[in-house]
């Protein structure tokens, strides 16, 4: 009889622990769910001057002007390592191919170098 009581108490305590953990990770009624921390390179990135917004999603990239929304470039990207990405495409303004290698130095910063040697930084936009 005592063993059954101990088992029931153990199951009850495990259930309470699970409920307490769930309460810490979910939003209450009417509250927005907390955002997950960004992972990898997918998402929106803005250049240092704030003029171009690049979006990387599912192997595709696109850059638009922040003031007009005009598409400036599009193409594709592929991961070349755990924190490195290669971006290739076309500059729609110059009608010329573009190529960049970028390194994800933090969840919010990509350090990039163009095929011509130009260095620039992209910052994740939330």
Q: List the beta bridge partners of residue 112.
A: 102, 120
Whether 29 shows a pLDDT value over 80: the answer reads no
Higher pLDDT, 44 or 6: 44
Higher pLDDT, 119 or 32: 119
Counting every residue written for the chain, the total comes to: 126
pLDDT band at 14 (very low <50, low <70, confident <90, very high): very low
Higher pLDDT, 82 or 5: 82
Angle at 15 between CA 13 and CA 19, to 5 degrees: 115
On whether the CB atoms of residues 98 and 73 are closer than 8 A, the answer is: yes
CA gyration radius for the chain? 23
Q: What is the pTM of this model?
A: 0.70
On whether the CB atoms of residues 93 and 78 are closer than 8 A, the answer is: no
pLDDT value of position 39: 74
pLDDT band at 34 (very low <50, low <70, confident <90, very high): low
Q: List the beta bridge partners of residue 124.
A: 45
- CA quadruple 31, 32, 33, 34: dihedral sign: negative
């Amino acid at each position: 009889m005592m063993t059954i009581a101990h088992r029931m108490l153990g199951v009850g305590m495990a259930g309470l622990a699970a409920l307490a953990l769930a309460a810490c990770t979910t939003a209450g009624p009417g509250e927005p769910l907390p955002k997950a921390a960004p992972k990898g390179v997918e998402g929106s990135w803005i250049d240092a001057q704030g003029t171009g917004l690049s979006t990387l999603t599912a192997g595709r990239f696109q850059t638009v002007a922040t003031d007009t929304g005009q598409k400036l470039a599009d193409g594709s990207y592929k991961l070349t390592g755990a924190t490195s990405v290669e971006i290739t495409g076309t500059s729609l303004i110059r009608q010329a191919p573009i190529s960049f290698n970028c390194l994800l130095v933090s969840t919010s910063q990509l350090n990039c170098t163009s095929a011509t040697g130009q260095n620039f930084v992209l910052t994740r936009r939330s």
